Amino acid sequence: MTGDPEFLTLCAAVLETLGLRLDAYRPTQLQRRLAAFRQRHGLRSNAELAARIRVDGELRDRLADFLTINVSEFFRNPDRFAELRNRFLPALLARKPALRVWSAGCSIGAEIYSVALLLRELAPGRNHDLLGTDIDPEVLRRAREGIYEATEMRGVPDRMRRAYFRPVEGGWEILPAIRSQVRFAQHDLLRDPYPRGWDLILCRNVVIYFTDEAKAEVWRQLAASLNEGGILFIGGSESLYGVQDTGLRYVAPCFYEKMPRSGLAP
Ligand SMILES: C[S@@+](CC[C@H](N)C(=O)[O-])C[C@H]1O[C@@H](n2cnc3c(N)ncnc32)[C@H](O)[C@@H]1O
C-alpha cells in the first residue's frame, strides 16, 4: 500500500494541509480507517480524498480528528499523572488496600498500564482490579499484546522502562507480570450498560467528538459507576462544567470526586 501512487498523493496532501505524517501510522490499521472514512464521505479513492482535503477545510478537520482518534501514550499529560500519583492514589489507597480502576476508552492500553505501574510502586503486592475498555477491537488487540513504539513510550521514565519492559522488534513489550494485572474488554460508552463500583475512572480524550448531550450522559453514567469518594480523571481539554446532577465535585484540574464522602478537599 505504501508504494501505491494514490496513497502517496494522499500522504503529500495530508502532510501539506494537516502536518500529519500518514507514513508514521500502522499501515493495516490506517488502511482500514481510511477506507471507513472514504465510505462515510462518499469518496471513491485516496486521490479523490487528497483533492477534496486541499479545498474543503471542514473535511480536512474531520480527517484529522478521525486519524488521531486512537492516539495514546504512557503518562499522557505527565503533570496530571503526577497529581494522580502524589495525591489521589495515596488518598484512595489509605482507605482501601486494593483499588478498582477503569480506563474507559483505553485505546492501546497505555493509560491503564500507566496506572498499573504507579500502583505497583505505591502499593506493591496488592490485588488491584484494573480494567481497560474501548469500542475498537483493534486497539484492544494491541492493548492485550502490550507492545509499544518509541513515541508511545516517551513518557515512561528510564528507570521504569528498564524495570517493567523488555525490548522487542518494533518497540518495547510490557512484562507479563504487569500485563496480567490488567484485563481488557470491548465496551461502547454510548450503548452498553456501565460496570459499577469503581474507585478511579479514567475517561480521557474520548468524548471530545461526542455531542454535548452525549457527553453529559457519559459523565452522568460514569459518576454513577464511581464509589463514594471515588475519582474521575478526565482529559485536559474536557470539563464537566454545566453538567447537572452528577454528584461529582471538582477537586483539581482534570479531577472530580464523587460526593458525599469527602477527604480529598483541594
Ligand atoms: C484518543 S483515544 C484516548 C485514549 C486514552 N484515553 C488517552 O487519553 O490517551 C480515544 C479512544 O476512545 C475510543 N472510543 C471512541 N468512541 C468510543 C465509545 N463510544 N465507547 C468507547 N470507546 C470509544 C476510541 O476507539 C479511542 O481508542
Residues 33, 89: one domain?
Answer: no
Residues 137, 89: one domain?
Answer: yes
Residues 148, 204: one domain?
Answer: yes
CA distances from 122 to 73, 84, 97 (A): 21, 11, 11
- Encode pLDDT of 10-24 as tens digits: 999 998 987 777 776
207 CA distance to ligand 1 middle (Å): 8
DSSP one-letter string for 239-250: --TT--S--EEE
Tens of pLDDT, residue by residue, the chain (266 residues): 557 899 999 999 998 987 777 776 667 778 888 998 999 899 999 999 999 999 998 898 788 777 767 889 999 999 999 999 999 999 999 999 999 999 999 999 999 999 999 999 999 999 999 999 998 888 999 999 999 999 899 999 999 999 999 999 989 999 999 999 999 999 989 889 999 999 999 999 988 767 788 889 999 999 999 999 999 999 987 899 888 888 999 999 999 999 875 444 44
Mean pLDDT of all residues belonging to the chain: 91
Residues 33, 153: one domain?
Answer: no
User: Cα–Cα distance between 173 and 179 in angstroms, integer?
Assistant: 9
Residues 63, 82: one domain?
Answer: no
* Residue 120 in domain: yes
Residues 88, 219: one domain?
Answer: yes
Residues 239, 198: one domain?
Answer: yes
Q: Is 204 in the pocket of ligand 1 (CB under 6 A)?
A: yes
- Encode pLDDT of 220-243 as tens digits: 999 999 999 999 999 987 899 888
Q: CA angle, corner 43, sides to 37 and 45, nearest 5?
A: 95
* Domain that includes residue 150, residue range: 78-258
* Residue 73 in domain: no
107 CA distance to ligand 1 middle (Å): 5
* Residue 243 in domain: yes
Is residue 170 within 8 A of residue 147, CB to CB? The reply is yes
Residues 108, 214: one domain?
Answer: yes
Domain boundary among 68, 86, 120: 68
What CATH number is attached to the domain comprising 185? 3.40.50.150
* Residue 265 in domain: no
Residues 56, 137: one domain?
Answer: no
Q: Which atom of ligand 1 is nearest to the CA of 191?
A: 19
Q: Is 181 in the pocket of ligand 1 (CB under 6 A)?
A: no
User: Cα–Cα distance between 193 and 92 in angstroms, integer?
Assistant: 25
178: Cβ–Cβ under 8 A, 6 or more apart, which residues? 113, 116, 117, 120, 146, 164
* Residue 22 in domain: yes
C-alpha closest to that of 203 among 241, 233, 246: 233
Residues 184, 205: one domain?
Answer: yes
User: Cα–Cα distance between 95 and 199 in angstroms, integer?
Assistant: 10
* Residue 174 in domain: yes
Domain count, the chain: 2
Residues 107, 236: one domain?
Answer: yes
* Residue 266 in domain: no
Q: Is 65 in the pocket of ligand 1 (CB under 6 A)?
A: no
Residues 24, 83: one domain?
Answer: no
170 CA distance to ligand 1 middle (Å): 23
pTM of the complete model beyond 0.95: no
209 CA distance to ligand 1 middle (Å): 10
Q: Which atom of ligand 1 is nearest to the CA of 190?
A: 19
